């Protein structure tokens, strides 16, 4: 039986995907939470699934390589679901970049060594990555991931310092997930050269330990906007993750698929601006602008890019607001000098 490696497999979306993939695959769960990992393996085993677990911190490249080799020795790793990640309520911006961005690079480069014809990898991003205006993402640093992974790993963590103010963790989350989307697309050619595939999936608000923690950041407010007025169930995104790495959609690669109950489809520029405006002085501080100037800038942006006439309903920040561009953009010019 072929193997599927699932990171962050002890909880949430990763565990839900393991239940689905486990029907016809050997499951190897990786997580940093030993207790949750033990409980997850017991749960899967009780359900008749061939499952093992290993404590593996995805930010540690040597451990990731070792664990991939060990998993491969037990049966070819035909697919990887890279679900491990951290959110703004869990730590500071540097931590978020290290786990979400460096972790994704480690997982992707390491699996590429083993990937063969017909294999597939899916990286879990977030709709937050789609909400980051491209201009504020540290694209030069992103590009280093393709040529110099050590330099990328150092610089992306330092990029946290380029984000001003109290919203640093929220904006870092959006940028770290924008990287996951960008990088998964860029790596499609390297996987394609081996007849393998790579893509990303961007969830909206889901009922998992992380999703519930982020209610403190307003993640529940996104359901006011969404077509489906509820959180997603872990198995609903698990089904998608299992499908995209299955053999059926064998021509699907180099893309991101949004799974958000219709949030992005309904979100207007006004809604995005309302999220920022709702933050008031915090948003101003995050933008490095006096509040009045920020509000004027947002109003102008709202007038120049009106939504289709819907009232503004959102003030959620889990999916971070479109950062006021000029200030961040100016800071990002410092990237090259870091
Ligand atoms: N839940 C949501 O609403 C939501 C929304 C958008 C995106 N996402 C993304 O979906 C993915 C899965 O989220 P979830 O809701 O299942 O989260 P979760 O917190 O329920 O599960 C994530 C798992 O990753 C593990 N993990 C964290 N850091 C790790 C590390 N360094 N190495 C190995 N494992 C590590 C955790 O211990 C945890 O078991 C994440 O990448 C998250 O950013 C979640």
**83-131 confidence digits (pLDDT tens):** 999 999 999 999 999 999 999 999 999 999 999 999 999 999 999 999 8
> Which residues lie below 8 Å from residue 138, measured CB to CB, with a gap of 6+?
155, 156, 159, 162, 175, 332, 335
What's the confidence (pLDDT) of residue 6? 99
Q: What CA–CA distance (Å, rounded) separates 94 from 286?
A: 16
Q: Is the pLDDT of residue 300 over 50?
A: no
Of the candidate CATH numbers 3.40.1190.20, 3.20.20.70, 3.90.1150.10, 3.40.50.720, the domain formed by 3-265 belongs to 3.40.50.720
The finding on whether 288 has its CB within 6 A of some atom of ligand 1 is no
What's the confidence (pLDDT) of residue 209? 94
Output the six-digit token pair for 288. 């490095």
What's the confidence (pLDDT) of residue 52? 98
pLDDT class for 272, splitting at 50, 70, 90?
Answer: low
Which DSSP letter does residue 101 get?
I
Token pair 């991101």: residue:
256
Average pLDDT score over the chain: 84
278 backbone φψ class: left, alpha, beta (φ>0; ψ -120 to 50): alpha
pLDDT class for 25, splitting at 50, 70, 90?
Answer: very high
Mean pLDDT check: name the lowest of 33-42, 192-201, 264-273, 278-287: 278-287
C-alpha separations of 46 from 40, 41, 131, 235 in Å: 10, 8, 40, 18
Residue 128's nearest CA partner among 63, 196, 206, 62 is 206
What's the confidence (pLDDT) of residue 206? 97
What's the confidence (pLDDT) of residue 111? 98
More confident residue, 176 or 294: 176
More confident residue, 37 or 316: 37
What's the confidence (pLDDT) of residue 273? 58
The finding on whether 206 has its CB within 6 A of some atom of ligand 1 is yes
Token pair 């001003």: residue:
164
Mean pLDDT of 6-11: 98
Closest C-alpha to ligand 1, atom 42: 85
The finding on whether 57 has its CB within 6 A of some atom of ligand 1 is yes
Q: Is the pLDDT of residue 143 over 90?
A: yes
What's the confidence (pLDDT) of residue 222? 85
Q: 292-324: string of b/e by CB count within 10 Å (b at 16+)? A: eebbebbeebbeeeebeeeebbbbbbbbbbbbb
Q: What CA–CA distance (Å, rounded) separates 129 from 320?
A: 9
What's the confidence (pLDDT) of residue 251? 98
The finding on whether 170 has its CB within 6 A of some atom of ligand 1 is no
Maximum C-alpha span of the chain: 62
Q: What CA–CA distance (Å, rounded) separates 185 from 172?
A: 20
CA–centroid distance, 299 to ligand 1, in Å, is 35
What's the confidence (pLDDT) of residue 105? 98
pLDDT class for 338, splitting at 50, 70, 90?
Answer: very low
The residue whose CB lies within 8 Å of the most ligand 1 atoms, and thus the one to mutate among 200, 208, 218, is 208
What's the confidence (pLDDT) of residue 164? 72
The finding on whether 276 has its CB within 6 A of some atom of ligand 1 is no
Q: 238-262: string of b/e by CB count within 10 Å (b at 16+)? A: bebbbebbbeeeeebbbebbbbbbe
Closest C-alpha to ligand 1, atom 23: 8
Domain edges within the chain: 3-265, 269-337
Nearest 5°: the CA angle 319, 324, 326 is: 145
Counting atoms of ligand 1 from 1, which one is nearest the CA of 234? 16
Cβ–Cβ under 8 Å, residues 209 and 11:
yes
């Amino acid at each position: 039986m072929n193997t599927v490696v699932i990171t962050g497999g002890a909880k949430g979306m990763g565990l839900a995907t393991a239940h689905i993939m486990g029907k016809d695959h050997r499951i190897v769960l990786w997580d940093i939470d030993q207790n949750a990992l033990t409980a997850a393996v017991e749960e899967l085993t009780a359900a008749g699934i061939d499952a093992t677990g290993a404590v593996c911190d995805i930010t540690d490249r040597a451990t990731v390589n070792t664990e991939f080799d060990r998993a491969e020795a037990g049966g070819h790793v035909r697919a990887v679901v890279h679900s491990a990640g951290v959110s703004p309520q869990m730590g500071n911006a540097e931590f978020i970049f290290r786990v979400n961005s460096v972790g994704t690079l480690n997982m992707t480069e390491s699996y590429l060594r083993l990937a063969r014809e017909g294999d597939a990898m899916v990286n879990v991003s977030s709709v937050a990555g789609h909400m980051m205006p491209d201009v504020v993402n540290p694209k030069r640093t992103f590009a280093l991931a393709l040529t110099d992974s050590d330099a990328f790993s150092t610089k992306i963590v330092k990029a946290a310092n380029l984000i001003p103010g109290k919203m640093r963790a929220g904006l870092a989350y959006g940028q770290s997930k924008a990287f996951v989307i960008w990088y998964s697309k860029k790596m499609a050619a390297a996987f394609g050269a081996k007849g393998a595939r790579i893509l990303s999936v961007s969830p909206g608000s889901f009922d998992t330990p992380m999703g519930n923690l982020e209610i403190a950041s307003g993640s529940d407010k996104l359901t006011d906007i969404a077509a489906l007025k509820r959180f997603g169930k872990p198995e609903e995104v698990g089904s998608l993750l299992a499908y995209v790495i299955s053999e059926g959609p064998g021509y699907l690669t180099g893309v991101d698929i949004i799974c958000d109950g219709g949030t992005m489809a309904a979100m207007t520029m006004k809604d995005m601006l309302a999220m920022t405006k709702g933050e008031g002085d915090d948003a101003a501080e995050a933008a490095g602008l006096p509040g009045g100037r920020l509000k004027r800038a947002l109003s102008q942006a709202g007038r120049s890019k009106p939504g289709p006439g819907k009232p503004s309903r959102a003030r959620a920040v889990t999916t971070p607001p479109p950062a006021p561009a000029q200030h961040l953009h100016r800071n990002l010019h410092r990237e090259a000098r870091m």
